[in-house]
Amino acid sequence: MEVAIIDYGAGNIQSLQFALNRLGVQGILTADVNVLQSADKVIFPGVGEASSAMQKLNASGLQHLLPTLTQPVLGICLGMQLMCNSTEEGMTQGLGIFNVDVKRFSSKVKVPQMGWNTIYNAKGPLFDAIDDKEYMYLVHSFFAPSCSNTIAETNYDGAYSTALQKDNFFGVQFHPEKSSKAGSQLLQNFLSI
Amino acid sequence: MLTKRIIPCLDIKDGRTVKGVNFVNLRDAGDPVELAAQYAKENADELVFLDISATEQKRKTLADLVLKVAEAIDIPFTVGGGISSVEDVAILLRNGADKVSINSAAVKRPELINELATAFGSQCVVVAIDAKQIEGEWLVHLVGGKVPTEINLFDWTKEVEKRGAGEILFTSMDHDGTKAGFANKALARLSEEVNIPIIASGGAGELKHFTDTFTHGKADAALAASVFHFSEISVSDLKQQLKVQQIAVRL
Q: Over 70: is that where the pLDDT of B146 sits? A: yes
Contact A57, A50 (CB under 8 A): no
3-state secondary structure of A189: helix
Residue B174 predicted with pLDDT over 90: yes
A·B CB contacts under 8 A: 92
Chain B 186-245, residues with CB within 8 Å of chain A CB atoms? 195-197, 220-221
Burial profile B98-115: b = 16 or more Cβ within 10 angstroms, e = fewer: bbbbbbbbbbeeeebbeb
Angle of helix B207-215 relative to helix B235-244, nearest 10 degrees, comes to: 50
| Residue in A22, A48, A135 closest to B121 by CB | A48
* Alpha-helix runs per DSSP H in chain B: 32-41, 58-72, 86-94, 104-108, 111-120, 153-163, 184-193, 207-215, 226-229, 235-244
In sequence order, the β-bridge partners of residue B70 are none
pTM: 0.96
Q: What's the mean pLDDT when you consider all of chain B?
A: 93
The Cα–Cα gap between A127 and A176 comes to 12
CB-based contact B23:B231 (threshold 8 Å): yes
Q: Would the CB atoms of B220 and A111 count as touching at under 8 Å?
A: no
Distance between CA B138 and CA A56 in Å, rounded? 43
Q: Kindly list the residues from chain B whose CB atom is less than 8 angstroms away from the CB atom of residue A175.
A: 76
- Judged against a pLDDT cut of 90, whether residue B230 lies above it is answered with no
How far apart are the C-alpha atoms of A18 and A12, rounded to whole Å? Answer: 11
Q: What's the CA gap between A103 and A143, in Å, rounded?
A: 5
Nearest to B45 among A107, A111, A115 (CB): A115
Query: B111-141: per-residue pLDDT in tens?
Result: 999 999 988 989 999 999 999 999 999 999 9
Residue positions of B annotated with a catalytic role: 11, 130
Q: Say if the Cβ atoms of A116 and B5 lie within 8 Å.
A: yes
Q: Does B116 touch chain A (CB under 8 A)?
A: no
Q: Is A63:A161 a contact under the CB 8 Å cutoff?
A: no
**Inter-residue contact B220 to B5 (CB < 8 Å):** yes
Q: Coil, strand or helix: which one is B229? A: helix
Q: Do B118 and A184 touch (CB under 8 A)?
A: no
Residue pair A126/A170 in contact (Cβ under 8 Å)? The answer is yes
Is 70 exceeded by the pLDDT of residue B106?
Answer: yes
Of all residues in chain B, what percent carry a pLDDT higher than 70?
A: 95
Under an 8 A CB cutoff, do A137 and B76 touch? yes
Q: What is the pLDDT of residues B29-39, one digit of tens each?
A: 789 999 999 99
Residue B111 in contact with partner chain A when CB distance is under 8 A = no
A18 vs chain B: nearest CA distance in angstroms?
Answer: 5
Single out the residue of A146, A166, A165 nearest to residue A156, CA to CA. Answer: A146
